[in-house]
């Protein structure tokens, strides 16, 4: 029943992680793509409540894009009550509350709650997703202690099953995973230039601009120099970028040297060494 080569080497992460419960799913392909979404967010445990066409269904594996092991380990249950019997907390996704008095969370807030429940307290949790056509019924949501509603465009709140799973899986991964900073500058083998390195380049650039006459307008010179300084100070210039800019200035100055400008007598700058 599995796809080619058994799919990716997926396995549960250490500790507790939320269980995805698909209630009365209608299409095998949607179960497969939901498993694919789970794999992207580091979720592994899948439970199916009364799938319409039975289980297993080969088309689910074909649609899972390598999330075979999640489908291999999925369990089937007759009722929601049976699917969540061993859970301590149950969340239910819903497009809108239906006269129910219960806590309501966005996907992001729900993920933060789930991290605290699963990782900090070691409790088992489940998230209910309803059938594709109509979503969860009131009797389904009666088994949940918390509702989850996605803050989407109110004029068009239409998600398929896999998309609904993907949003929560993404928020779970971001809330539980602490290795990736939210913002970073990829510098590869170079590094962000220090202020001293940047200052050395700006002094050299200004000197060359004075020598070529670009800054001859004395009343405007301070403002022009400040504009150049602000331009380079605004971002995190890397050491390699400064080397490139030094090379540009070198080639520009050599042209003037060939026209009679004397060679500089100052000792070589750091970028000229090595």
> Bigger pLDDT: 35 or 205?
35
Is the distance from CB of 117 to CB of 125 less than 8 angstroms?
A: yes
Q: Angle between the 161-176 and 107-115 helix axes, to the nearest 10 degrees?
A: 50
Contacts within 8 Å (CB) and 24+ apart, 225-231? 228/202, 229/202
- pTM of the prediction? 0.73
Please state, in angstroms and rounded to a whole number, the distance separating the CA atoms of residues 86 and 77.
13
* CA-closest candidate to residue 113, choices 127, 99, 100, 101: 127
Which of 128-132, 135-139, 154-158, 232-236 bottoms out in mean pLDDT, i.e. has the lowest?
A: 232-236
Is the distance from CB of 38 to CB of 70 less than 8 angstroms?
A: yes
Q: Is the pLDDT of residue 2 over 50?
A: no
Sign of the alpha-carbon dihedral angle for 159, 165, 171, 177: negative
Q: What is the pLDDT of residues 35-56, one digit of tens each?
A: 999 999 999 999 999 999 999 9
Please state, in angstroms and rounded to a whole number, the distance separating the CA atoms of residues 112 and 247.
50
Neighbours of 228 (CB within 10 A): 15
Q: Is the pLDDT of residue 265 over 60?
A: no
Percent above pLDDT 90 for the chain: 53
Please state, in angstroms and rounded to a whole number, the distance separating the CA atoms of residues 45 and 35.
9
* CA-closest candidate to residue 141, choices 110, 95, 106, 108: 95
Please state, in angstroms and rounded to a whole number, the distance separating the CA atoms of residues 128 and 19.
9
Read off φ and ψ for residue 228, nearest 5 degrees: -60, -45
23 by DSSP, 3-state: which? strand
8-state DSSP, 159 = -
Q: How confident is the model at residue 1 (pLDDT cuts 50, 70, 90)?
A: very low
Residue in the structure block whose two tokens are 């599995």: 2
* CA-closest candidate to residue 94, choices 177, 190, 26, 159: 159
Is the distance from CB of 196 to CB of 223 less than 8 angstroms?
A: no
Q: What kind and span of H or E run contains 158? A: none
Q: What is the pLDDT of residues 165-188, one digit of tens each?
A: 999 999 999 998 766 666 767 778
């Amino acid at each position: 029943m599995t796809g080619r080569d058994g799919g990716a080497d997926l396995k549960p992460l250490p500790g507790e992680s939320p269980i995805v419960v698909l209630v009365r799913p209608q299409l095998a392909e949607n179960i497969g793509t939901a498993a694919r979404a789970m794999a992207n967010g580091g979720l592994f445990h899948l439970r199916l409540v009364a799938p319409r066409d039975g289980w297993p269904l080969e088309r689910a594996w074909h649609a899972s894009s390598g999330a075979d092991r999640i489908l291999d380990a999925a369990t089937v249950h007759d009722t929601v009550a049976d699917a969540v019997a061993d859970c301590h907390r149950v969340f239910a996704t819903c497009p809108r509350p239906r006269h129910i008095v219960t806590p309501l969370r966005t996907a992001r807030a729900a993920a933060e709650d789930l991290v605290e429940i699963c990782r900090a307290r070691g409790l088992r949790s489940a998230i209910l997703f309803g059938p594709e056509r109509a979503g969860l019924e009131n009797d389904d949501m009666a088994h949940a202690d918390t509702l989850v509603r996605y803050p989407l465009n109110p004029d068009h709140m239409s998600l398929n099953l896999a998309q609904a799973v993907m949003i929560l899986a993404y928020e779970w991964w971001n809330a539980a995973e602490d290795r990736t900073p939210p913002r970073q500058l990829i510098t590869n083998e170079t590094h962000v230039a220090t202020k001293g390195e940047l200052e050395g380049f700006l002094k050299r650039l200004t000197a060359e601009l004075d020598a070529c006459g670009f800054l001859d307008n004395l009343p405007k010179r301070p403002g022009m120099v400040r504009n150049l300084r602000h331009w380079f100070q605004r971002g995190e210039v890397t050491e390699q970028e400064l080397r490139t800019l030094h090379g540009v200035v070198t080639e520009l100055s050599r042209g003037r040297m060939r026209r009679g400008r004397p060679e500089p007598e100052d000792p070589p700058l750091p970028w000229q060494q090595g």
